[in-house]
Chain A
Amino acid sequence: MAGTGAFDEIRGTPGDPAGRPEFAELLQWIEDTPSSELDRRQKAAEAAFRQLGITFAVYGEDESAERIIPFDIVPRIFTGREWANLSEGLVQRVEAINAFLADIYGPRRILADKVVPEELILSNPQFRPMLAGAKPPHGVFAHICGIDLVRTGPDDFWVLEDNARTPSGVSYMLENREAMLRLCPELFEQFKVAPIDSYPDALLETLQSVSPRNQGAGATCVLLTPGHYNSAFYEHSFLADSMGIELVEAADLEVDDDKVWMRTIEGRVQVDVIYRRIDDDYLDPLVFRPDSLLGVPGIIAAYMAGNVALVNAPGTGIADDKAIYSYMPEIVRYYSGGDAKLPNVETYRCREADALRYTLDNLDKLVVKLVDGSGGYGMLVGPTATKAQIEDFRAALIAEPHRYIAQPTLALSTVPTLTDAGVAPRHVDFRPFVLSGAKGVTITPGGLTRVALREGSLVVNSSQGGGTKDSLILTGPEVRA
C-alpha cells in the first residue's frame, strides 16, 4: 500500500514501527479479506442504498440523475479515549456557540468588550438584525451542530468548520452502520463498538425539550422540508420517520394569532417545535425573501412571540460564518473561561492587511475560501491549482479581500479505502453531530466520515465526488486504562 506521508488512522504515523497496535486486528481483517470480497460487499451495500432510495439529487440534473453517495466498506475507528477527549472539546465549543448567539442577539457583551469586532457581526450578511432581542424557547439557538474535524497526527485534531445552521449527513451515519452490521458482522464481534441507533430518540428528546408549552413528550414536533426535489430530502424523510413525527412542507403550515398550525384531515393542529431544514432566507417571505414560495408567512412573528421553537433558531448562520470562525478560540475562551480544547486551523483573515499580503505571497501553498461559500464551491486549493486558477483568485482577493480567508493546506489523515487498485490510503474528515436541548448537550458516539476518493485529493464534499465510511467508536477495555 502506497503511503501519502500523512498520519493514517489505522496504520499510524508513517515510519513509526509501533503503528497503532489497538487496531492490529482491523489491519489484519483488511489484509486477510480479498479485495474482490470487499468489493462484493461494497457493491451489495450500494445496491441496497439505491433500492432504499438513499440518494441525493444533483442540482441542474433531472430526477433520474439521482445519485448515491459512494460508500466505502473499510471503516474508520476511534479509540474510546480519543472519543472522550473529542467529546469534551465538542461540548465546550457548542456551549460557547450557543452563549455567543444568545449574546449577540441579546446584550452584545462580547462586542462591548471588543473581543470580536462589532462591524464584523453587525454588517455580516448572516447576522439577522430583525431578530435582535429574540429569545428562543429555553434559550437554545443551535440545537444541532455538525462540527467538521480533521486530523493531522496522533493527538492533533482541528476544527475545520462549525455547521450551526442545518447540518446534514446524519442519515448516512445511521445507514452506513446498518450496512456494516449486515455486511461485515465479524468486525462487530472483534470490536466492541458504541451503538448509534439511539440518535433519533436523542434528537426527538432534544426537540421536545425546547417546546414553548413544556408538554414534554406531548409536544407536537414536525420536520419542515423544502420538498422532495431538495438534495437532502432522503435525510429529511428518514429523520421524520425514525422520530415518528410529521414531515411537512410549508404549504402544510399556516400561522394564525402568532401560532403555527398544520393542516390535517381532521382540521388544524398546533405545532410546538419545527425542525426546519429550510434556510433562513426561505423561511418566511414576510421577513426574508419575499419571492420565496418555500416559506410560511408569519412564522418568524410566531417565533418572536415565543409560541414556536425553530430548530435551529434563525440567525445561527452568524456562528458558523467563516469570517467569525477565526475568532472561535477567543469566543470559546470568553464564554467558557478556559482555552478551547479543540483548536482551530490557523486562519488568515484577508480583510486584515498583513494577512492579505501573506496570502497573496503564498497562494500556491494555501487553501483560500469564500467566507460565505460551502460544499467545496468558491475555494482554491493552492498546491493542486493551475496557474490560471491562482491568478483568478489573486484578482478576486485584491478586489474584495473581506470576502476571503486563507488556511495552510493540512496533511489530512488517511484511512485505508477500497479503490480500483486495491486498498489504498485516502484523505478523510469527520463530522460528529452535537445536540443541545433544554437539559444540556449530548453527542451520539459516532459521526460521518467523508473520504476523498481520488488519490491525493483533499476534497471530501459529496457534491465534489467524495464518499462516506462508517465511523466506529470503541468502548473496549482501553477506555478504562
Chain B
Amino acid sequence: MLSRTANSLYWIGRYVERAEFTAKLIEATIRLDALSARPAGQGAWDSALLVAAADQDFALTGETRTPLAISRYLTLSADNANSVRSCLDAARSNAKSVRTALSRDAWEAINRAWLGLRGRASTGGSQATLSLVEQIRAETRGFEGALHRMLRNEAYAFIGLGAAMERADNTARLIDVKYHLLLPEGEKVGGPIDRDQWTTILHTVSAVTAYRWLYSEGLKPWLVAELLCLRRELPRSLIASSEEAIGHLNAIGKRTGLQGEADRLARVRHNALERTTIDAIFNQGLHEWLTAFIRENTRIHSAIGQQFRFS
C-alpha cells in the first residue's frame, strides 16, 4: 500500500470519529443545558468548547458565548478546523483521494454524510440542532457499518487504527475537562458532585445503560471514571481503545511484516492500563494521569507516522 494512502485512511478514521464525538458532545450539552439552571447551563457550553479543544479559537472569532453561537461553531463553522463540517470535509477529501482503497459502500457513506451538511448555514434552535446532530450520527454509524463489511486488509486496519487513536484522545479529554470543571475548588474527590453532569459524560459516550449493567450502585464519579478509563467492555474506554489500536497494528504487521516503535509503545501503554486500578489513578491525581495518557497517545500517533512513512 502507498504510504500516502495509508496516511489518508488513518486520517479518515480520525476525522469521522472526531465528527461523531463532537456531534454527541453537542447532543449531551443541549441535554445538560436544558436540565440545569443558569448559569450552570452556560457552563455546559463552555465546557463543550474545552472538551473539543476549541476554547481559544472560539474566543478569536469575537462572538458572544451563546449556546447558539457555540453549537454553530462546533457543528457547521468552516472557520473551526474541528467542527463536524470541517471533519467531514477533511474525511471526504481524504476518502476521495484514496477511493480505490475504500469499498464502494464506505465511500458512499462518507460522501452522503458530507452531502448532508452541504449548504447548511445555520443550525437553528436546539430542536433543529438536535435533529442535525442525529442525522450526522446516523451517517457516521452508516460509515461504521460499511467499514465492518470491508475486506479485513490494511485499508481496514488503518482506518480502524485512526479511529481508535482518536477515540482514546477524545475520551481522555472528555473525562479531564468534565472532572476539572465540575469538581469545585477544594472539593474532595468523590464528594457530592452534581449527578446530572456525570450523567452527561455518560451520554456523550453513549454509556448510560452500560453503567447500569456494569454497576449495581447509583451514579458514583469514581465508578464513572473507572468505566471510562479501565473497563474493556465499554468500547469507548481508554483501555478498549488502546487494545483496539494494538489489534489493528498487529493485523498490519501480519500482512506486511512491518512492526516497530508504534507497536512497542502501544503495548507498553496497554500493559500499564491493565495493571493499574482506579484507586491508584486517583492517588496519583486523575488530571495528571489523564494528561500523561494524552501525551502518550500523541507519541504513539507520531510513531505510527514514522513507522509507515506517512510524510
Contact present for B1 and A265 (CB under 8 Å): yes
User: B225 contacts the other chain (Cβ, under 8 Å)?
Assistant: no
| Chain A neighbourhood of B134, CB < 8 A | none
Contacts of B154 in A (CB 8 A): 265
A240 CB contacts on chain B under 8 angstroms: 100
Quick check: B1 and A237 within 8 Å, CB to CB?
no
- B100 and A265 contact, CB distance less than 8 A: no
Query: When the two chains form their complex, are residues B99 and A237 in contact, meaning their CB atoms are under 8 A apart?
Result: yes
- Contact call A51/B112, Cβ cutoff below 8 A: yes
The interface-forming segment of B53-61, B103-111, B165-173 is B103-111
The answer to whether B99 and A264 have CB atoms under 8 Å apart is no
Contact A228-B93, Cβ < 8 Å, known A53-B107, A240-B100, A265-B308: yes
**Knowing that A64-B118, A233-B96, A265-B2 are A-B contacts, what are 20 other residue pairs whose CB atoms are under 8 Å apart, sorted by A's residue number?**
A50-B115, A51-B108, A51-B112, A52-B108, A53-B99, A53-B107, A227-B97, A228-B97, A237-B99, A241-B99, A246-B2, A247-B98, A248-B2, A249-B4, A252-B4, A263-B3, A264-B309, A265-B1, A265-B154, A266-B256
Interfacial chain B residues near A233, Cβ < 8 Å: 96
The list of the 5 closest CB pairs from A to B, nearest first, reads: A237-B99, A241-B100, A265-B308, A228-B97, A228-B96
Residue A251 at the B interface, CB < 8 A? yes
CB distance from A227 to the nearest CB of B (A): 7
Tell whether B214 is near chain A: CB-to-CB under 8 Å. Answer: no
Contact flags B72-110 to A (C-beta < 8 A → 1, else 0): 000000000000000000000100111110001001100
B181 located at the interface, meaning its Cβ lies under 8 Å from any Cβ of chain A in the complex: no
Closest to B118 in A: A64
> Do B111 and A51 have beta carbons less than 8 Å apart?
yes
Q: Is the CB of A53 within 8 A of B96?
A: yes
* Subset of 16 A-B contacts with CB under 8 Å: A52-B111, A64-B119, A237-B96, A237-B99, A237-B100, A241-B100, A248-B2, A251-B4, A252-B3, A264-B1, A264-B2, A264-B3, A265-B3, A265-B252, A266-B256, A266-B258
Complex CA–CA separation, A412 to B305 (angstroms): 57
Residues 100-135 of chain B: 1 if any A CB is under 8 Å from the residue's CB, otherwise 0? Answer: 100010011001100100110000000000000000
For A239-266 the 0/1 string (1 means CB < 8 A from B) is 0110000111101100000000011111
Taking CB atoms, residues of chain B closer than 8 Å to A227 are: 97
Residues in A118-139 with C-beta less than 8 Å from chain B: none
- Nearest-neighbor residue (CB-CB) of B107 within chain A: A53
The residues in B between 132 and 164 inclusive whose CB is less than 8 angstroms from any CB of A are 154
Q: How far is the CA of A52 from the CA of B111 in the complex (A)?
A: 8
Main secondary structure of the interface of B (DSSP, over half): helix
> Which A residues touch B229, using CB under 8 A?
none
Residue of A nearest to B102 (CB): A241
User: Does B257 reach chain A (CB closer than 8 Å)?
Assistant: yes
| Closest CB in chain B relative to A263 CB, distance in Å | 5
A248 vs B8: C-alpha distance when bound (angstroms): 13
The answer to whether A265 and B309 have CB atoms under 8 Å apart is: yes
How far, in Å, is A267 (CB) from chain B's closest CB?
8
Indicate if B6 sits at the interface (CB-CB under 8 A): yes
Least Cβ distance of A166 to chain B in Å? 18
- Collect the chain B residues with CB atoms within 8 Å of residue A252's CB: 2-4
Chain A residues positioned under 8 Å from B111 (CB to CB): 51-53
Q: Find chain B residues with CB under 8 A from A63 CB.
A: 93
CB-contact partner of A265 in B99, B104, B107, B256, under 8 A: B256
* Closest B residue, CB atoms, query A222: B2
Given known contacts A265-B309, A266-B257, A52 and B104 CB-to-CB distance under 8 angstroms: yes
Q: How many chain B residues touch the partner (CB < 8 A)?
A: 27
**A204 → chain B closest CB, angstroms:** 14
Known A-B contacts A51-B111, A237-B99; A265 and B93 likewise in contact (beta carbons under 8 Å): no
B88 shortest CB reach to chain A, Å: 13
**Given A51-B108, A53-B111, A228-B93: A263 in contact with B2 (beta carbons within 8 A):** yes
CB neighbours (8 Å) of A53 from chain B are 96, 99, 107-108, 111
Report the bound CA distance from A263 to B96 in whole Å.
Answer: 20
* Interface of chain B residues 251 through 301 with chain A (CB within 8 A): 252, 256-258
User: Contacts of B99 on A, CB cut-off 8 Å?
Assistant: 53, 237, 241, 247
Name, among B2, B96, B98, B252, the residue most crowded by chain A CB atoms within 10 Å (CB to CB): B2
> Max chain A CB contacts within 10 Å: which of B3, B93, B258?
B3
Residues of chain B lying within 8 A (CB to CB) of residue A251: 4
Closest chain A residue to B308, Cβ basis: A265
Considering only CB atoms, which chain B residue lies closest to A64 in the complex? B118
Measured CB to CB, the closest approach of chain A to B2, in angstroms, equals 5
The residue of chain B having its C-beta at the shortest distance from the C-beta of A241 within the complex is B100
Interface residues of B in 234-251 (CB under 8 A from A): none
Interface contact B97-A265, CB-CB below 8 Å? no
Q: A25-58 vs B: 1/0 string, CB under 8 Å?
A: 0000000000000000000000000111100000
Q: How far is the CB of B1 from chain A (nearest CB, A)?
A: 5
**Considering the chains assembled together, what is the distance between the CA atoms of A51 and B115 in angstroms?**
9
Complex formed: what's the CA distance from A117 to B3 in Å? 49
The complex places the Cα of A248 from the Cα of B101 at a distance, in Å, of 12
Closest to B119 in A: A64
Query: Nearest chain B CB to A44's CB is how many angstroms away?
Result: 15
The minimal Cβ–Cβ distance linking B256 to chain A, given in whole angstroms, is 5
Give every chain B residue within 8 A of A241 (Cβ-Cβ). Answer: 99-100
> Using Cβ atoms and an 8 Å threshold, which residues of chain A touch B2?
246, 248, 252, 262-265
| Nearest opposing residue in chain A for B4, CB measure | A252
Q: In the assembly, what is the distance between CA of A268 and CA of B105, in Å?
A: 30
Which residues does chain B contribute within 8 Å of A263, judged by CB atoms? 2-4, 309
CA distance A22 to B252 in the complex (A): 57
- A201-249 at interface with B (beta carbon < 8 Å): 227-228, 233, 237, 240-241, 246-249
